[in-house]
Amino acid sequence: MYSLVSGPLVWIASIVFVGGMTYQLVNMLKSAKRDKVVYPYMSLKYGLRSLLHWLVPFASRNMRERYETTIVTFAFHICLFLVPIFLTAHVVMFAFAWGPKWGTLSEGVADWLTVLVVLAAVFFLVRRWMLPEVRFVTSLSDYVLLAVVAAPFVTGFMARHQWFDYETMVIIHMVSGAVMLMAIPFTRLSHMLFFVFTRTYMGSEFGAVRNARDW
Amino acid sequence: MGLPAYLIPPLPVVADPGLDENAKSLTRERIAEVINRVIDRETAARFRVYLNTCVHCGLCSDACHWFLSNDRDPRFSPVGKVKQTLWEILKRKGRVDADFIKECSRIAQTECNGCRKCSMYCPFGVDIAYLLFVVRRICYELGIVPQFLQDTVNSHSATMNQMWVKQDEWIDTLQWQEDEAREEVTTARIPLDKEGAEVFYSVIAPEPKILAQLIGSMAQIMAIARIDWTMPSFDGWDNSNLAMFAGDFEVMGRVERAHHEAALRLKVRRIVMGECGHAFRGAVYDGPRWLGWRQPPVPVIHAVEFYHELITSGRIKIARKFEEPVTVQEPCNIVRGGGLGTKLREVIQATCADFRPPPDPQFEHNYCCGAGGGVINCGPPWKTSRVKGNSVKAEQLAATKAHIVITPCHNCHSGIEDIIGGYKLGMHVKFLCEILMQVMEIPDELKAS
């Protein structure tokens, strides 16, 4: 079972992820042609200007107004990338299979960053319940997606600290990681890809067409 | 998963024959057919990507004056409006009933001004107003449009202007205003159909219909600034476009084409538009897009930019500053939609002695007047909800303790007037040109005796 999830399942998840993202990208670029305004108004300068203001913490007004959400959101997304890529166990496994290695986080730091991701997920959950304007637009799928993203971190943390049966926990961890990876292109998690395009398009419209700022 | 229904009190029912009567003839089959046709044929990447990217975070809410003014009722948040309309439509694959379409019209047409402030608050830059305009398009295709708004579209369609102004009335009004202007400035003229003039000055139809003195004022300004200008005697003089807001993009295209073609026929160097925001949006963005032009064929500038040019170049001089305390309503379509915020402030500072900036949010972030986007054109039935939906604007204006609110946009002008009345603020609204008429120097040689 372990060799199945650490071998073929990782392959399947990676292929679905890369293939799915490519499919979504190509699909978007094709359908953007039918949306006659997109290509003519897209502007690199203004698009990047807007993107920058939304990638730097507190560079936009709404980020300053909702500072708690901003802090949590940035911490969440940064750790979301940092932990899986620089975790010692992941790097070692990759080096074992392929050869190349890169720097790793210390175990203690990785632990804390994982806790941060889980706490941020709890914050998002509470936010969904507490704020009427968020609760009003929340459906079951929003909870499921949050769980899909949090699960690899929770289970990874449990496996590392050898809570419950280690081997079972590692298998659950790997399956949950694969599920998350495969869900990204086909759910709202695809904002990982689309965010860049929606933001740069809006930045282009505001900057190049309307002579105004959008942050 | 949303709020339990019992926590949400029902909204007051508003009777509007454009919705109530027209909905009687709708069938579920026709509704599904129209919805699927609009979504399949008229939307593409933006529509799909926006809907698939939205993570339902609700961060757009704080942008919306409707949401803030209705005690943060989630039904009025931008994403809440999309949920109640498009999400339901897509979930049910277009199989919705006539009552649902009436709700869609109420939400998209009368409770969203399309001011696009929410796209500045959405972390992903989703154009939420565009999504609600797709809903408007569906409602229009089904014939569900508030009656007063539909009447303006009918007028555009039949007369090429918004207010059923006949050609002889138009010319007659210009002649009358020329006479009025010459009572003050001897050289004031309103040259009709002058080929090769530097400026084609276009106005919205309510000017000749109910605010004719604004045209006379402009004739004085043009004479003093010695501008070579003209107005067409033929269709295309009206730069307003309510069809754009009703979802009737075919008529919108016709109206915008007539406006630009009038400029081309007159061989003018540029179009100067009167103090109206939505007209600027139609002429510069929505119209050209529908017509397949990347930008207007003849350069278009808004009155605020024109006044700024006249003052900074010294073509008009300020004799004395306006004394009463003033504040400003920053129109969405020229400030957030045209980057004219700074120039507007500079014109006010050049002409007024006591300018009181509104408290935050300002410039691009300022609240909409609540009237734009065709909402005020939905007429008296919707006035109560419109005024209630903008208490934040009333609070903002009251905090300035100004006597006059400068509103360089017709929609803002009427909308702010309603807010002043509704919240008993005791203020008055003025266009910039009304201020200019009071402070501008009339050289002695041009003064009528």
User: Residue A97 contacts by C-beta under 8 Å, 6 or more apart in sequence?
Assistant: none
Nearest CA in chain B to A202: B125
**CA–CA separation, B283 vs B75, rounded Å?**
32
Report the residue from B47, B74, B127 with minimal CB separation from A133. Answer: B74
B398: left (phi over 0), alpha (psi -120 to 50) or beta: alpha
Q: Among A133, A202, A214, which would you mutate to test the B interface (most chain B Cβ atoms within 10 Å of its Cβ)?
A: A133
Bin B95: left if φ > 0, else alpha if -120 < ψ < 50, else beta. beta
> Closest Cα of chain B to A121: distance in Å?
13
Cβ distance A61 to B74 less than 8 Å, yes or no, reads: no
pLDDT on residue B4: 56
* Residue corresponding to tokens 């699927």: B36
pLDDT at position B3: 54
Residue A81 lies in a domain: yes
Mean pLDDT of chain B: 96
Helix (H, G, I), strand (E, B) or coil at A102: coil
Q: What is the pLDDT of residue A97?
A: 86
Question: CA-CA distance, B210 to B217, in Å (whole number)?
Answer: 14
Mutate to test the interface with B, among A210, A211, A213 (most CBs of B within 10 A): A210
* Tokens encoding B271: 């179009």
Query: Given a cut of 80, is residue B2 above it in pLDDT?
Result: no
Structural domain contains residue A215: no
Q: From A69, which residue of chain B is nearest by alpha-carbon distance?
A: B59
Chain A residues with CB under 8 Å of B55 CB are 142, 188, 191
Q: What is the pLDDT of residues B347-381, one digit of tens each?
A: 999 999 999 999 999 999 999 999 999 999 999 99
In a domain, A29, yes or no: no
Q: How far is B225 from chain A (nearest CA, A)?
A: 27
8 Å CB contact between B368 and B336:
no
Q: Is the pLDDT at B5 greater than 70, yes or no?
A: no
Q: How far is A178 from chain B (nearest CA, A)?
A: 21
Q: Which residue has the higher pLDDT, B238 or A5?
A: B238
The span from the CA of A69 to the CA of A153, in Å, is 20
Question: Among candidates A193, A158, A156, which has minimal Cα distance to A178?
Answer: A156
Is B53 close to A61, i.e. CB distance below 8 A? Answer: no
CATH number at A42 reads 1.20.950
Per-residue pLDDT of A80-117, as tens digits, reads: 999 999 999 999 988 988 888 898 999 999 999 999 99
Please give the pLDDT value at position B421: 97
Query: Which residues of chain A have a pLDDT value below 50?
Result: none
Chain A touched by B337 (CB under 8 Å): yes
Confidence label for B43 from pLDDT (cuts 50, 70 and 90):
very high
Give me the domain span that covers residue A107: 2-21+38-209
Write the pLDDT tens digit of every residue in B54-102: 999 999 999 999 999 999 999 999 999 999 999 999 999 999 999 999 9
Q: Check residue A5 and give its pLDDT.
A: 78
For residue A132, cis peptide bond before it (omega within 30 degrees of 0): no
Q: Tens digit of pLDDT for each residue in B173-200? A: 999 999 999 999 999 999 999 999 999 9
Task: Tell me how far apart the alpha carbons of residues B60 and B71 are, in angstroms, rounded to a whole number.
Answer: 16
In this prediction, residue B319 carries a pLDDT of 96
> What is the DSSP track for B329-363?
---HHHHTTT--HHHHHHHHHHHBSSB-PPSSS-G
- Chain B partners within 8 Å of A120 (Cβ): none
> What domains are defined for chain B?
12-145 (1.10.1060), 150-314 (3.40.50), 326-439 (3.40.50)
Within 13 Å of residue A109, how many CA atoms lie on the same side as its CB? 10
What is the rounded average pLDDT of the residues B131-141? 98
Q: Report percent pLDDT > 90 for chain B.
A: 97
pLDDT tens readout for residues B198-227: 999 999 999 999 999 999 999 999 999 999
Q: Work out how many domains chain A is built from and give that number.
A: 1
Nearest CA-CA partner of B192 in B219, B165, B211, B210: B219
B342 touches chain A (CB under 8 A): no
Within 344-383 of B, beta carbons closer than 8 Å to A belong to 361, 364-365
B7 pLDDT higher than 80: no
Helical H segments across B142-248, by residue range: 147-159, 167-182, 206-210, 213-225, 243-246
pLDDT tens-digit map of B90-102: 999 999 999 999 9
Query: In angstroms, what separates the C-alpha of B388 from chain A's closest C-alpha?
Result: 19
pLDDT tens-place string over residues B301-352: 999 999 999 999 999 999 999 999 999 999 999 999 999 999 999 999 999 9
